Chain A
Amino acid sequence: DSGVTQTPKHLITATGQRVTLRCSPRSGDLSVYWYQQSLDQGLQFLIQYYNGEERAKGNILERFSAQQFPDLHSELNLSSLELGDSALYFCASSPSLDTGELFFGEGSRLTVL
């Protein structure tokens, strides 16, 4: 158990819909990362927050957005869903910006039908 909690674990929805994935980092961790893993793309970095502020952005689609709240939990919002958005979405946390030791949650599996 990494201490990172992601909900929901599984989500099935239809094209065009909007979903929100939630991540609670390990206690005391200030940095949160979101990754997407689909079968053909591997693990892709989406976005990083540190203490509520966006710090790095990867290949995150404009239809996707995220935020980190004052209590440090984070949400990833996916809208206008397409079939290709079906993937595992992982959240990770770390205590600081400098470390490369990330703690990953078990992921949220999104299926878009």
Chain B
Amino acid sequence: DAKTTQPPSMDCAEGRAANLPCNHSTISGNEYVYWYRQIHSQGPQYIIHGLKNNETNEMASLIITEDRKSSTLILPHATLRDTAVYYCIVRVLNSGNTPLVFGKGTRLSVIA
């Protein structure tokens, strides 16, 4: 799987949008971008995934650049409960023998 690069930490004011970047410049055409988060020692939680189109769900929006070399996870109105480590992962969709590989992620601190 392609590697991803994320900033180690970010701050965001409560109520503002949190924009978490991820670089995946070596991504292959059949690799999807997945985002997970982990709130203080809890199990990681799936957020969203996408291939090339922008995606939105009840938790977040995912913006993938046209060349697919980078993406941004957007939490539209961050709350204190969004403080967590956010992981950006790329993985081939139909690859049953390829597990998700977690990097170091971005530690997002939402500040009141």
Binding site for B on A (CB under 8 A): 2, 4, 31, 33, 35, 42-43, 45, 48, 50, 55-56, 58, 88, 90, 92, 96-107, 109
Q: Which of B58-101 contact A (CB under 8 A)?
A: 87, 89, 91, 93-101
Mark B residues whose CB is within 8 Å of A. 32, 34, 38, 41-46, 49, 87, 89, 91, 93-104
Q: Is the CB of B96 within 8 A of A104?
A: no
Q: Are A56 and B97 in contact (CB under 8 A)?
A: yes
| Most chain A Cβ neighbours within 10 Å, of B32, B43, B101, B104 | B43
Chain B interface main SS type: loop
| Interface of chain A, main secondary structure | strand
B32 engages A100 (CB within 8 Å)? yes
